[in-house]
Structure formats: C-alpha cells, structure tokens
Amino acid sequence: MANPAPKLDPRGRKVKILATVGPASRSPEMLARLFKAGVDAFRVNMSHGEHADHAQTIETIRALEKQFRRPIAILADLQGPKLRVGKFKDGQAVIRHSGHFTLDRNPEPGDETRVELPHPELFGLLEKGQRLLINDGKIRLRVISADEEKIHCSAEVGGVISDRKGVNVPDAEVPIPALTDKDRKDLAFAVAKGVDWIGLSFVQRPEDLAEARRLMGGHASLCAKIEKPNAVSRLAEIIEASDGIMVARGDLGVELEPQEVPPLQKRIVNETRLKGKPVIVATQMLESMIESPAPTRAEVSDVANAVYDGADCVMLSAETAAGDWPEEAVTIMHKIARQVERDEAYIERVRLLDTPPDSTTADALAHACMTVADTVPVSAITVFTGSGSTARRVARERPSVPMLVLTPSMRTARRLGLLWGAHAVATKDIGSFEEMIAKGKRMALRHGFAEAGSKLIALAGVPFGTPGSTNLLHVVTISGDELDKHDD
C-alpha cells in the first residue's frame, strides 16, 4: 500500500530548526519572537561574545521555557583551533597570481613575498603538491617545498592578504587537538550553565571527541561537527563516538571542491540516521536573508532538499545572529519545512534510506510503530522514556505520525529538541501500566496531538524506570473525559 501523507505535530512539522543567537537576536523580545516563529533550539556561538553575554542568553532562553511551558534545547558551539597567518608591515599585502609566497617561522611583519605562520606543527608536515587555502579559500597556494623552517609555495590564486587571516590545510591531518585552552574554558562555562549540547569543531578523528566527553562529565550531549575532509574517512567511527552530527558545509566547502559537498552531505545524513542519532544540516541555508527579507529560490530548494533527505534539524547561522531579518528567516524556514512535509511523497522519500532494526526488542517495537501507524489511523505515537533512547529508535524509522515523548527528565526533554518528529514533554514519572495509558491520553489531548475518538500508539518499557527495557506496544482510543485531570 502507498505510504500515507504524514500527520503534523503542533509545530506543523517534524524537522527541527536550530537558530544561532547573536547581536541581532539576543534581546528577550527577539528570542521570544524567534521561538514563536518556529525555533526549536538555540545555538550559542562561543567564537564570539563574552561569557557574561552568553550567560544572559541562556538565562533568557530558560525563562522562555517557563513562559511557553516547552523544553528548549541549547547548543554551545565551541570555536576549536584556528590556524592563522601572522601580521604584515602595512596590515596587508598583495600576493601575485602565479607568483611565489613563503610561510615561515620568522615573527617579523610580512610583505608580498612572505609572512609568519605561527603554527610550528605544520612545518615538516606539509609535502610538495599539497594545498594551503587562506581567507576561506580566496587565496590558494600550492606547496613547492617544505622543511622545518619554511613552506615555499606558488600562488594558484593570488589576491589581497591581511593580518591574521585563517589558513585551511585540506590535504593533511593536522596534529593538533580539537580543544584549545579557550575551548576548555568555554566548555566548563557551558556545562556549568546547563546547556544541553556541546558542538565540537575541528574534528578529524574519533579520538578528538574523547577529551570533550571526559570534561563534559555526562552533563550534555556531544555533537561532532564534520567540517574537515579528514573526518570523512573516519565518519563511521566519529558518528559512533558522538551523540549527534553537524554537517558544517561552510568549512567543508572551503576545503573541498563545491560539487563534492552535496553528495557528501547526503552521505553524512544517511550514515548518521542509520545510527539513530540526530543530524543537523548547517551553514548558508538562507544566506541572502542576512540582508534581504526574502530568500532566493536556490536557497529555498536547498532547505527543502535537506528536509526531503530526512535531516533531523536545519540550522540558521548569521541569518539570525547578525542579519537584518532574523524573524523572517525563521518564518520562511518553518514554512518550507511544513510545505515539504505536506507533500504526499515526503514519507516515501525519507524512507528511501533502509533503516533495518537491530536484533533487539526495543528496535523491533520501534519498527512496529511505523508499520502500525501506516496501517491504523492513529494520531500520534506516545513514547515513555527516561534517557531518550526509545525516542531515537522510533525517530530513525521516520513514522508518518508525530511522536509525543513523555519523560520525567527535563534534561532528556531538552536534548530531544534536535530530534526529528519528537515533541518532548517533561512530566511526572509513572508507576503502572494503567497510569501510563491514562497519562498518554491526557497529554496527547493537552498538547494538540489528538481529540476524542483518536487512536494512539503507546510505547514503553515494563518495569517502569528501568533503562533499556522497552518491551510494550499498545494501541489505545481516547474518550471524551480524558482532559479532566491535570498532573503535569
């Protein structure tokens, strides 16, 4: 039988929206407007701003939670190590096209022939023929020779180079850790403030996640940003070592050829989905809306394709952090996602990826939820979970109806703000099968997932409160008096 068109959750969509906070959106009034426009989670960019500013932002978001009685995820995005050139005599210089240019360890100001590269780990690492990309790839150098003191290059693309411009090294694995001293301080701050996710930059290998994981102490989920080509060769291991993945297309687009990024995006999305972990598509999704109140048609198609691919979350960066139209950017992203998910072919498209269940009871029941929802006219799947693992299993199947996740843990409810189709509610724990069914019905009514006469799928584990015990699937019908009781 044909897959049914998906039923919509109270947001009207299953894909989530992550918006970056910055000067254009930091005020309590704008954060509230962005949330009402459709934001499910906020990104705090630790590359910019002071801890005091970030603390105020986090406090404001937590106040919004109480105001709207909805858990809101906060992702603190660490800057990571930045490779940069030194300074120039006049603040800048011009590298001639096809000319020669040298990067060395001499701290004296540079000129049109040379500049300091204050990263000793790169000397002796680079080999003839490898590339150096400066200022987001605007200047492209090719190594002629390299030793412990100098890296002599030819300029394939020259141009103006100025103080402290960034350097990308796409053809070598750079032997520096993913965490700098600044990152460690920022991570400690973020954990102390109770953020839900940590975004780790400059991930090249699974070992890069180990120190962050240790410093987090289990107080947040870890999102590995895939922005280095080297990470792609060990993608499966990085996904396994993380709690979620971000496709950082801006940085990938600097170090890869432009045409290589779209198929890589799809591969990362698919491999992350197979593991049942949330995957975020990020960077330049509605870039023109930094200055324009409307996106280009190409940008609309870009967002739509990410939704059709089954991404859990789409992200706005400068559009909401520093743009002139932050609320409009969220609104149009929300509308694009809703329109895509109303397409009769949407569920079929997101299920083109085969996600066979593991040989566990929990996975088998999560898969069964999808099948039941395709066969029986149910309004929603109610999932009872402590850790969120059951919700992730169900979301991996991309069911045609929304998922109402009930958890006694506010921490879990917040972290699920990046998970496809999950509408999480922090509520009192349950102690019996009968209490579970009654609560599921009331919450479905209260949160707009059902009405009298609707059917629900209930998924849980017995005995209650035992992690990893999902073993029960039950279909229930709601009667008209279920909303009379209140027990949030």
Task: Indicate the pLDDT class of residue 479, thresholds 50, 70 and 90.
Answer: confident
Whole-structure pTM over 0.85, yes or no? Answer: yes
At residue 55, the 3 state secondary structure works out as: helix
Mean pLDDT, residues 400-410: 96
Tell me the percentage of the chain whose pLDDT exceeds 70: 96
Residue 433 confidence (pLDDT): 86
Q: Is 131 a catalytic residue?
A: no
Catalytic residue among 16, 87, 225, 277: 225
Dihedral angle at the C-alpha atoms of 396, 401, 405, 406, nearest 10 degrees?
Answer: -150
Residue 431 confidence (pLDDT): 82
Q: Is 69 a catalytic residue?
A: no
Task: Indicate the pLDDT class of residue 2, thresholds 50, 70 and 90.
Answer: very low
Assess contact for 478 and 445: CB atoms under 8 A.
yes
The Cα–Cα gap between 57 and 77 comes to 14
Residue 101 confidence (pLDDT): 98
Mean pLDDT, residues 369-377: 96
Q: Which residues contact 323 (CB under 8 A, 6 or more apart)?
A: 24, 289, 290, 291, 329
Q: Which of 194-198, 298-302, 481-485 has the lowest mean pLDDT?
A: 481-485
The better pLDDT of the pair 7, 252 is held by: 252
Task: Indicate the pLDDT class of residue 344, thresholds 50, 70 and 90.
Answer: very high
Mean pLDDT, residues 390-397: 96
Catalytic residue among 102, 283, 385, 407: 283
The Cα–Cα gap between 24 and 426 comes to 30
Assess contact for 379 and 456: CB atoms under 8 A.
yes
Mean pLDDT, residues 9-13: 78
Q: Is 43 a catalytic residue?
A: yes
Task: Indicate the pLDDT class of residue 324, thresholds 50, 70 and 90.
Answer: very high
Residue 485 confidence (pLDDT): 56
Residue 17 confidence (pLDDT): 98
Element (H, E) at 282: strand 279-282
Q: Is 382 a catalytic residue?
A: no
For the stretch 282-309, pLDDT in tens is: 999 999 999 999 999 999 999 999 999 9
Sketch out the chain's domains with CATH numbers: 16-80+178-343 (3.20.20.60), 92-168 (2.40.33.10), 361-484 (3.40.1380.20)
For the stretch 52-80, pLDDT in tens is: 999 999 999 999 999 999 999 999 999 99
Length of the chain: 488
Catalytic residue among 26, 84, 150, 213: 84
Distance linking the first and last C-alpha atoms of the chain = 39
